[in-house]
Amino acid sequence: MEFENSKIELAKTEHEILLEDPRTVKKRRRADKRRRRKYKFSDKHHSAAGIIATILTVPAIAFIVLAIVTATAQKGQGSTLVGWLPFFAMILATAGIVMSALSFRKPDTIYTFSWSGLISGIAVWLFVAVILVIGI
């Protein structure tokens, strides 16, 4: 305890020590730690495969929406287009899932796009599979 007080006295003048209580010192130390953690400098970058996987799910979702709108507009009497669009969506979703799974192998990368591509690809795949099972 005495050693810590001598460190504080060396760093500050006597007047500053008398004005500060231990609570404010602790608060200031916590605030300094938070301030230090605010910026994070690293060499990490986003995975290109993860970005591509995320981009691949956008047209897959668009194909599903287009198939639903077309089937609704034709009142259930849709053409082969209504059947092919979800098939293409499943192909794109499968490619996105594979690419995002492969992007997890690379070290020192940020996995945000990899996770979003994987989750959205699985969601598209499951949605089309559920529609297929309901249709059978």
pLDDT tens-digit profile of 16-61?
Answer: 555 566 677 777 777 777 666 656 667 788 888 899 999 999 999 9
Average pLDDT, the chain: 81
Domain boundaries, the chain: 2-36, 45-135
pLDDT at 117: 93
pLDDT at 125: 94
Please, are residues 57 and 121 in contact by the beta-carbon 8 Å criterion?
A: yes
Is the model's pLDDT at 85 over the cut of 60? yes
pLDDT bin (cut points 50, 70, 90) of residue 6 is: low
Instruction: With CA atoms as reference, report the closest residue to 114 among 24, 27, 44.
Output: 44
| Residue 43 DSSP one-character state | S
pLDDT bin (cut points 50, 70, 90) of residue 128 is: very high
Predicted TM-score of the model (pTM):
0.65
Please, are residues 111 and 50 in contact by the beta-carbon 8 Å criterion?
A: yes
Q: Which residue has the higher pLDDT, 44 or 3?
A: 44
Across the chain, the runs of DSSP E, i.e. the strands, are 45-46, 109-110
| Residue 63 DSSP one-character state | H
